[in-house]
Amino acid sequence: MEQRTYRQYCATARTLDLVGERWTLLLIRELLTGPKRFSDLQASLRGLGTGLLAARLKHLEHEGLARKITLPPPARTSAYALTEAGEELAPAVLELARWGLKWAMGERREDETFHPGWAVLGLRACFDADAAAGVRLVCEFRIDDEVFHTRVDDGTIEALNGPAQHPDVVITIGEDAFVEVIGLTLPLAEAVASGAADVSGDREQLSRLTRLFRLPPHRARPAEQPG
């Protein structure tokens, strides 16, 4: 299949030539939280057919944005991971997430799927580096069948799929309650008090963690003016 191009000698256009096709940036989003197997990507990106997923991955490989790897034991299966060039798309994806939190999110629609792992990048997008100066902590999230963790280290954050080796705090919570907590409609303390969430580990570190993220206030886009 011939790659479509804007045929413009412009950095923005050249970038969109590489990642502007439908689903491509969402594949980058998935791989920013760590290597994924083909089946993992299929499960996260429902609506993306097997053939198109294979084509998009082949495109990312061809353009040097992703590569095939073999996962370490005990998995020992093939997976896809970002290259250095692919990893450097993270700031652009995070800026899109920040813009979306402010101007596009609103309430969840009935036909919209959700995976808790997507909140990994949401945490990075809302991270307040200044508030995290001097803070070092690791938090593990267990949300239904998904597990991911964040590592804060003196103003920086790493957010990845999978369990942490030595978490300071472990939060176990259901998907519905988690959506409410990250949307700031349900305080974590209330979720714990009601039994919708369970927290183990260092409560002081948990208190620090909740102060490190700032969700931008939602703004309504101006309605289209009549012609």
Are residues 199 and 155 part of one domain?
yes
pLDDT band at 224, cuts 50/70/90? low
φ/ψ of 136, rounded to 5, equals -135, 115
In-domain check, residue 219:
no
In-domain check, residue 65:
yes
In-domain check, residue 225:
no
In-domain check, residue 95:
no
Which of the pair, 15 or 120, is modelled with greater confidence? 15
Q: Provide the number of structural domains found in the chain.
A: 2
Q: Can you read off the two tokens belonging to residue 23?
A: 């689903």
Which of the pair, 183 or 19, is modelled with greater confidence? 19
Region 66-80: what's the mean pLDDT?
Answer: 92
What was the pLDDT predicted at 2? Answer: 62
Identify the domain boundary among 72, 88, 104: 88
Instruction: Give pLDDT tens digits for 82-122.
Output: 999 999 999 999 999 999 989 998 788 888 888 887 877 88
Of 6-15, 115-124, 206-215, give the lowest mean pLDDT range. Answer: 115-124
Are residues 121 and 65 part of one domain?
no
Instruction: Specify the CATH number for the domain of residue 142.
Output: 3.30.1050.10
What percentage of the chain exceeds 90 in pLDDT?
Answer: 62
Are residues 81 and 15 part of one domain?
yes
pLDDT band at 225, cuts 50/70/90? low
Are residues 129 and 206 part of one domain?
yes
Which of the pair, 180 or 163, is modelled with greater confidence? 163
Q: Is the pLDDT of residue 42 over 70?
A: yes
Are residues 145 and 59 part of one domain?
no
pLDDT band at 135, cuts 50/70/90? very high
Region 69-85: what's the mean pLDDT?
Answer: 93
- Angle ∠(88,56,115) on CA atoms, nearest 5: 75
In-domain check, residue 51:
yes
Are residues 206 and 127 part of one domain?
yes
Provide the whole-model pTM: 0.87
Are residues 127 and 50 part of one domain?
no
Beta bridge partners of 157: 152
| Domain span including residue 34 | 11-88
Are residues 128 and 200 part of one domain?
yes
Q: Is the pLDDT of residue 227 over 70?
A: no
What was the pLDDT predicted at 175? Answer: 87
Are residues 124 and 74 part of one domain?
no
For the chain, what is the largest distance between any 2 Cα atoms, rounded to a whole number of angstroms?
Answer: 62
pLDDT band at 145, cuts 50/70/90? confident
Instruction: Give pLDDT tens digits for 169-209.
Output: 999 999 888 888 877 678 888 988 999 999 999 988 988 88
Q: What is the mean pLDDT of the chain?
A: 90
- Rounded CA-CA distance 96/126 in Å is 12
Are residues 191 and 142 part of one domain?
yes
Are residues 48 and 134 part of one domain?
no
What was the pLDDT predicted at 120? Answer: 77
In-domain check, residue 184:
yes
In sign, the C-alpha dihedral spanning 125, 199, 181, 41 is positive
Are residues 129 and 47 part of one domain?
no
